[in-house]
Amino acid sequence: MKTFNNFQFDFRKYQQKQDAKMALRKAKELEEQRKNNKQCKKV
């Protein structure tokens, strides 16, 4: 039973890490889009 709980905990940690990666990637994409929009407005 203890190992199962450990596994669940590890999985949750892994999920959080994955979510953080996705959020970071999304933020970078939005930042790129914002930069591109600024460049377009300047031209």
Helix locations, 1-43, DSSP H: 2-42
pLDDT, position 41? 67
Structure tokens given for 16: 């959080």
3-state secondary structure of 43: coil
Given this model, what pLDDT does residue 2 score? 63
Q: What is the pLDDT of residues 1-43, one digit of tens each?
A: 566 777 788 888 899 999 999 999 999 999 999 988 887 766 6
Q: Domain residue spans in the chain?
A: 13-43
Question: Tell me, what's the pLDDT at 1?
Answer: 53
Please enumerate in sequence order all residues whose Cβ is within 8 A of that of 9, keeping only pairs 6 or more positions apart, or say none: none
Query: Residue 7 — φ and ψ, nearest 5°?
Result: -60, -45
